Structure 1
Amino acid sequence: MKKQSVAQGTFILVIAGLITKILGMVNRVIVTRLLGEDGIGIYMLIAPTLMLLTTFASIGLPIAIPTLISRANERQKKVLSVSLIIAMVSSLLVSILLFFIAKPLAIYLLKDERTYLPLISIGPLLFFVSLSTILKAYFQGEQNMFPSAISTLVEQIVRIVISILFINWSLPYGIIYGVVGTMWASIAGEFASILILLFLFFKHIHHNHYGATLKPIHLSPQNFKDVLAISLPATGSRLIGSFSHFLEPIIVVQCLFKIGYSSELSAKLYGAVSGFALPLVLMPSFITNAITQAIVPPISQAYASKRFDRIHSHLDNAFQLSFIPSGIYTVLLMLFPVELMNLLFDSSTGANYLIVMAPVFLLLYFQAPLTSTLQAIDEATQAMSTTLISSVIKIIMMIILLQIPSLNIYGLVIAVLFNVVFVTAWHYLLVRKHIAYHMNMRSVINAILIIAVTFMLGSYLKLAVVFSTDSFLNMIMISFIVGIAYLFLLFICGLFPTGKMADTLRSK
């Protein structure tokens, strides 16, 4: 398999990410309609625990592997071997820990015994997730994005099929077993992904000859130190964020309980924010993830050779590519929150939160490239410090705001939005300090004006013009006109992709 340029890698991941997001949304729609608000509420209560335990199990290896492999080709086999050993041991230890803490976590912290069985079902999933992410990271370090893309697609397809089968089979036994069915569908999806990745891996090493003989690999303590030196700081940053997210449903349930909300109602409200509104807000994140994954190896290489101009170029391109789809998507979310919720989930639950969150979450698509840049230039510790500070502030804000009866669950929304703004701004200042990067303020102002103008145009069309008596067709017509206007303004303001930007993306 040949290495791909940044443009090729980004293109593959964007296309695969688009299909994956569509499949993921199809799966979410199916699961949401089958489980209902109660089931989604339970699932979202345990989702942060899954994220935290996955972070423990992988301990930053998805960041360390691409960085080390892109820098030292002769040690690729050792990097992969060490990573697999670390991941298997950590996954086993975390699964054992989960078995003992699941009961008290469900009863005393989440205040909902219905979460116990779904929590237990997380254990087997951790091993498969860790192995899958390591193999994907290996190919990303090789600057070959195809295996990651195709395995993710297979994973989503398998997950959809198994979700339908498992949930329909288990729901007659109770909503809890329906939620457990979604976890086992995830396990099946990860297992299918691993099979694809292993097939492509052995094909890859056979093609390159260096692994065809399957000779024993002699590992030394230094090999483990090399991997852990990068993975542990990256883990620290992700662990802080994951732990903050883990505390989120616990704080929500505990604080709302103090002002008179039952655990069932608290689960529904939390599910409305994290299970309905957030997935829609984060829909374009596959583009940011694709761009971020594709630029990490070349940024690491450019930093090693002190080519800051190349880093600046990659960042400019990442920001511009991220804004083009996320900008128009934000406008449409603000224009049609209720319509989109009803269309996808057959419920307007979460629409009010969507209106508030959509414009601020636009910053999140610029945060990911900044964070990855800090990790690529060996400043992961500073990124971790920022995450720690913002997480502490977020938790304090949640504890205070959630206990205000007039705000209730909006206290969570406000805290989450503040966290997005704070981390994005601080990471930009850190990148500016270390590599003298300055964002083009003219482009920023133009981007804000484009969103404002297209939103006002859409609002006018929605209020004053009726293209069809069919509400869905009317939404499509307005979206089409707003989209054309958006593209036109991008071109006029110089934010549309140019040949020069494409040339820069093709560079390695």
Structure 2
Amino acid sequence: MSSKLIRGTFILTLGTILSKVLGLLYVIPFYRIIGGNEPSALYQFGYVPYTIFISIATAGVPLAVSKYIAKYNALEEYAVGRKLFRSGIFVMLATGIISFLAMYGLAPQLAELVLKGAETKHNYTTADVATVIRAVSFALLIIPVMSLIRGFFQGHQSMGPSAVSTVVEQLARIIFLLAGTFFVLYVLKKDIVTAISVATFAAFIGGIASLIVLFWYWKKRKPGLDQLLRHDRGTLAVSLPEMYKEIVVYAFPFVMVGIANPLFQFIDQLTFNRAMAEAGRAAEAMDSLGILNMTTHKLVIIPVSLATAFALTLVPLITESFVNDNRKQMFRQLDQTFQVLLFITIPAAIGLALLADPMYTMFFGYDQYGAQVLRTYAPVAILFALYSVTAAILQGIDEQRFTILSLLTGLLVKLSFNMPFIQAYSTEGAVYATALGYGVAIVINLFVIKKFAAYPIRLVYRRSLLIVIFNIVMAVPVYGLYRLLLLVLSPESIIQSILIIVLCAGLGAAIYGYLGLKSGLADRLFGARLQRLKQRLHISS
């Protein structure tokens, strides 16, 4: 890989991680402004369908366009990429308008679906939920075009515009969301539905801010891009239908992976209220749904984002090894990918489960039931991460068609078990159904990897077992310290919760880090650069 590409990948990964961190931190003040789990559920009623619509409209577009442009730039056929970009602007505008009209028009029907079974047990009507859905739908007019421009820059190995625009989009959205909801509720003294509508409309504001940044980069870099056109070889004439056929084939699997998590959440929205009502717990349904799909989900997704950001950087190398039929190297890279994923995700999930009470208090205030759900939900982070990476590996070995099979099977399992599990186990039942659905999808993905890449999965077992042992060794003293701290500190206090987390997480990180360095496992996963750290800490393998 060239130093320019490595630098660009690092910048893009850093921007993505920073955006996700901001997407978590804003929840702390937002949750306190809107005042609880039930308004959080209303917010998710609008945002989950929006995520599905936006994923269908744009998921895979930056990657597909960047791959397409990079391919023809390598052939010095720069005009082909520019032709795609010009036509793509109109296509993405049309896609955005159609998606907006569909979501705006279907808002009442979507609202009826998610409220079915709990109509008389909460303060929201179908019209309220439809208003929130319609408020967020305006972002669909902006985001598809924005995604195309990001893909165009990435195709020229220019990752800065995508990274900067991603962070600016998130910042603008969060600032408008927090200021808007506060102003509506505490200055204008309006109702919570209006405030949540303003919060979801913030996605449109974020899109506008991102688009302004991208236009600035376009104006700044256009002379250099035009210079490339002057060196165009002009030997290939690719028709627009051929262009879009290639892009759709490449992008469709990413669409499916991109909407996996929102679809699992949407199944909860469709079935949760009804299942709770049938179990005689309709009065607590909205509050519990807010805990499930908003507060705990935000925390569980933290280790997933970090682990997949590290592991997915290895997928392009796997693709190269597969294409060159270098099986030995590909197996080594697959081993490393799975081990990096597990090395990061397992301790994060265990820590989140062990410290569920103070973690939930730190972000959302003390809620014993919220912490209970978080404790159950935390291990599912491992499955979220494994699904994302196995699906990406299928892309790398050119068997992406099976991602559709695995996802649809997982969704069918989730849909089949969700209501009976919720009726039996309340909110945790939805978590169990999600875990079962993702588990089935992962098994299918692993089977396909084993069959079509001839990958001996047993090779990763031994080191994965070592990672599990390290986590057990770490978890026992951390849990012991946690129980001791509870004698003098209370997880009901935000300040004391932070102190508990710092002390317990610090002990866990020290033990786990020492074991990883002492055993040499960290060296094999993250490279020889850790040798310098080991020398400073006087740790020998």
Same-fold call, TM > 0.5?
A: yes
The one of 357, 360, 376 equivalent to 2:380 is 360
Normalised to the residue count of structure 2, the TM-score between the two structures is 0.83
Question: Match of 1:506?
Answer: none
Please say if 1:425 is aligned against 2:443: yes
Match of 1:61 in 2: 61
Judged with a 3 Å threshold, the aligned counterparts in structure 2 of structure 1 residues 82 and 307 are, in CA distance, closer, same or farther, namely farther
Tell me the distance in 2 between the aligned counterparts of 1:468 and 1:243: 43
Cα 1:500–1:174 shift into 2, 3 Å: closer
The answer on whether the counterparts of 1:233 and 1:381 sit within 8 Å (CA) in structure 2 is: yes
Pair 1:57–1:105, CA change in 2 (3 A): same
Pairwise CA distance, 1:387? 0.6
Q: CA deviation at 1:270?
A: 1.0
Q: For the residues of structure 2 that align with 1:426 and 1:209, how far apart are their CA atoms?
A: 46
Q: CA deviation at 1:445?
A: 0.5
Matches within 5 A, 1:84-123: 84-111=89-116, 112-113=125-126, 114-123=128-137
The answer (yes or no) to whether the contact 2:478–2:508 under 8 Å persists in 1 is yes
- How far apart are 1:480 and its partner, in Å? 1.1
Aligned equivalent of 1:186: 203
Asked if structure 1 preserves the Cα contact closer than 8 Å seen for 2:383 and 2:439, the reply is yes
Q: Would you say 1:152 and 2:166 are equivalent positions? A: yes
Gaps of 5+ in 1: 504-508
Deviation at 1:447, TM superposition (A): 1.0
| Shift in Å, 1:334 | 1.9
The aligned amino acid for 1:164 is L
CA offset digits 1:432-482 (Å, max 9, x no partner): 222233442221001111111111111111224689755543432222122
In the alignment, residue 326 of structure 1 is paired with which amino acid?
A: T
Name which of 367, 376, 388 aligns with 2:408.
Answer: 388
User: Aligned residues, how many?
Assistant: 498
Deviation string 1:103-148 (CA, Å, 9 cap, x unpaired) is 1321354344221111111221112222233333344444443332
Q: Distance in 2 between matches of 1:161 and 1:240?
A: 28
Opposite residue 473 of structure 1, the aligned amino acid is L
Structure 2 Cα separation of the partners of residues 359 and 151 of structure 1: 32
1:483 paired to 2:493: no
Distance 1:333 1:221 in 2: 49
Q: Secondary structure at the match of 1:121?
A: helix
- Kindly indicate whether the alpha-carbon contact (under 8 Å) linking 2:356 and 2:374 is maintained by their aligned counterparts in 1: yes
- Residues 335-414 of structure 1: pairs in structure 2 closer than 5 A: 335-348=354-367, 349-404=369-424, 407-414=425-432
Name the SS for the 1:363 alignment partner. helix
Using a 3 Å threshold, how does the CA distance of structure 1 residues 416 and 498 change in structure 2: closer, same or farther? same
1:95 Cα shift?
Answer: 1.4
- Matched residue of 1:260: which SS? coil
Deviates more, 1:464-473 or 1:353-362: 464-473
Query: Aligned equivalents of 1:466 and 1:408: distance in 2?
Result: 28
Give the match's secondary structure for 2:509.
helix
Provide closer, same or farther for how the CA distance between residues 21 and 168 of structure 1 changes in structure 2, counting only shifts above 3 A: same
- Given the superposition, is the C-alpha separation of residues 237 and 489 from structure 1 closer, same or farther in structure 2, using an over 3 Å criterion? closer
Distance verdict in 2 for CA 1:284–1:461, change over 3 Å:
same
**In the alignment, which residue of structure 1 is the partner of 2:175?**
161
CA distance in structure 2 between the partners assigned to 1:500 and 1:325 by the alignment = 11
State the partner residue of 1:72.
72
Q: Distance in 2 between the 1:16 and 1:361 partners?
A: 22
Q: More deviation in 494-503 or 53-62?
A: 494-503
Q: Structure 1 residue 127 and structure 2 residue 141: aligned?
A: yes
Query: Hey, what does 1:318 align to over in structure 2?
Result: 337
Give the Cα–Cα distance (whole angstroms) in 2 for the partners of residues 165 and 471 of structure 1. 27
Q: Once structures 1 and 2 are overlaid, which stretch shifts more, 17-26 or 446-455?
A: 17-26
- CA distance in structure 1 between the partners assigned to 2:473 and 2:411 by the alignment: 34
Once structures 1 and 2 are overlaid, which stretch shifts more, 13-22 or 249-258? Answer: 13-22
Given that 1:303 and 1:311 are in contact with CA atoms closer than 8 Å, whether structure 2 keeps it comes out as: yes
Equivalent residues of 2:97, 2:141 under 8 A apart? yes
- Is 1:334 the counterpart of 2:378 in the alignment? no
Aligned partner of 2:284 among 265, 270, 278: 265
Aligned partners of 1:403 and 1:466: how far apart in 2? 33
Paired residue type of 2:349 = T
Alpha-carbon separation, structure 2, partners of 1:483 and 1:47: 35
State whether structure 2 residue 46 is matched by structure 1 residue 46: yes
Contact map agreement 1:58 1:130 (CA 8 A) in 2: yes
Measured after TM superposition, the shift of residue 202 of structure 1 is 4.4
Q: Give the structure 1 partner of residue 535 of structure 2.
A: none
Tell me, in whole angstroms, the C-alpha distance in 2 between the residues paired with 1:438 and 1:409.
38
Q: Distance in 2 between matches of 1:50 and 1:22?
A: 20
Contact persistence 2:55–2:259 (CA under 8 A): yes
CA–CA separation in structure 2 for the residues paired with 1:319 and 1:307: 19
8 Å Cα contact 2:70-2:156 kept in structure 1: yes
Alpha-carbon separation, structure 2, partners of 1:79 and 1:174: 46
Partner Cα separation in structure 1 for residue 528 and residue 389 of structure 2: 18
Compared CA separation, residues 81 and 345, structure 1 to 2 (3 A): same
CA contact (8 A) 1:398 1:411 kept: yes
Q: Please list the CA deviations of residues 312-353 of structure 1 after superposition, one character each: whole Å capped at 9, or x if unmatched.
A: 454444334434443332232122111111111113252111
**8 Å CA contact 1:125, 1:187 repeated in 2:** yes
| Residues 497 and 232 of structure 1: CA distance in aligned 2, closer, same or farther (over 3 Å) | same
Q: C-alpha displacement at 1:212, in angstroms?
A: 7.0
Query: What letter is aligned with 2:291?
Result: A
Q: Report the more deviating stretch, 131-140 or 267-276.
A: 131-140
Aligned-partner SS, 1:355: helix
Call closer, same or farther: CA 1:468–1:410 in 2, change over 3 Å: closer
Moved more, 224-233 or 266-275: 224-233
Structure 2 residue 295 is the aligned partner of structure 1 residue 282: no
C-alpha spacing 1:136/1:344, structure 2 compared with 1 (3 Å)? same
Structure 2: tracts of 5 or more residues without a match:
117-124, 490-495, 530-541
Establish whether residue 174 from structure 1 lines up as the match of residue 177 from structure 2: no
Q: What is the TM-score of this pair, normalised by structure 1?
A: 0.88
TM-fit CA distance, 1:69: 3.5
Give the C-alpha shift of residue 23 in structure 1.
Answer: 1.9
Question: What is the aligned partner in structure 1 of residue 29 from structure 2?
Answer: 30
Q: What CA deviation, in whole Å up to 9, does each residue of 1:48-86 have, x standing for no partner?
A: 211221123226424422433343323432443454333
Instruction: Confirm or deny that 1:473 pairs with 2:491.
Output: no
Deviations 1:164-186 (A, max 9, x none): 22111222211111111111222
Greater Cα shift, 424-433 or 476-485: 424-433
- Report if aligned partners of 2:135, 2:198 keep a CA contact under 8 Å in 1: no
- Describe the shift of the 1:231–1:5 C-alpha distance in structure 2 as closer, same or farther (beyond 3 A): closer
Going from structure 1 to structure 2, the CA distance change for 1:240 and 1:293 (only over 3 Å counts) comes to: closer
1:27 CA displacement: 1.1
The separation in 1 between residues aligned to 2:228 and 2:373, in whole angstroms, is 52
Q: Contact (CA 8 Å) 1:269, 1:409: kept in 2 or not?
A: yes
State which structure, 1 or 2, has the greater radius of gyration over its C-alpha atoms: 2
Which residue identity is paired with 2:18? I
Contact 2:307 2:344 in 1 (8 A): no
The question of whether the paired residues in 1 share the 8 Å contact of 2:62 and 2:148 is answered with yes
